[in-house]
C-alpha cells in the first residue's frame, strides 16, 4: 500500500504542476474469477495457491498488527464496519426501481440503439 500511495501521490503532484498524466501500473494476481462461480481453470492450481498464500490484504494486516499500528480486534471491528457499510449500499441499490429500456444505451460510447 505504501508503494501504491507513493506512486499515485507522485502522479497527482506531476498533474497538478501541469506536467500531464502518468500511467501507474499496478500488477497483482487475481484471487477470484472474472465472474461469480468462475472456477479459474485457466490458472494452474499451484499458481492460485501461491497467490492466496501471498494475499496482500492478509500480509499488510499482519504487518500493521506486528508494528503495533492496530490490534487484531481493531482490524476485526474495522472489517465488520466496512462489511456493514457495503451491505447497506447493496440494500439501497436493490431498493431502487429497475431502470427503463431508455437507459439501456445511456452513457455508452460507440453504440446506437
pLDDT tens, 7-63? 999 999 999 999 999 999 988 888 888 888 898 999 999 999 999 998 888 999 999
Contact 57, 31 (CB under 8 A): no
- pTM for the model stands at 0.63
Kindly give the interhelix angle for 72-94 and 56-66, rounded to the nearest 10 degrees.
Answer: 140
Environment class of residue 64 by beta-carbon count within 10 Å: exposed (0-12), middle (13-18) or buried (19+)? middle
Amino acid at each position: 500500500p505504501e508503494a501504491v500511495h507513493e506512486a499515485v501521490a507522485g502522479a497527482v503532484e506531476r498533474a497538478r504542476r501541469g506536467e500531464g498524466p502518468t500511467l501507474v501500473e499496478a500488477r497483482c494476481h487475481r484471487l477470484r474469477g472474472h465472474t461469480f462461480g468462475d472456477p479459474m481453470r485457466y490458472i494452474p492450481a499451484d499458481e492460485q495457491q501461491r497467490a492466496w498464500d501471498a494475499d496482500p490484504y492478509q500480509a499488510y494486516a499482519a504487518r500493521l498488527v506486528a508494528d503495533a499500528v492496530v490490534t487484531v480486534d481493531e482490524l476485526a471491528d474495522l472489517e465488520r464496519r466496512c462489511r456493514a457499510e457495503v451491505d447497506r449500499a447493496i440494500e439501497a441499490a436493490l431498493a431502487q426501481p429497475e431502470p427503463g429500456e431508455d437507459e439501456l444505451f445511456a452513457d455508452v460510447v460507440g453504440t446506437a440503439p
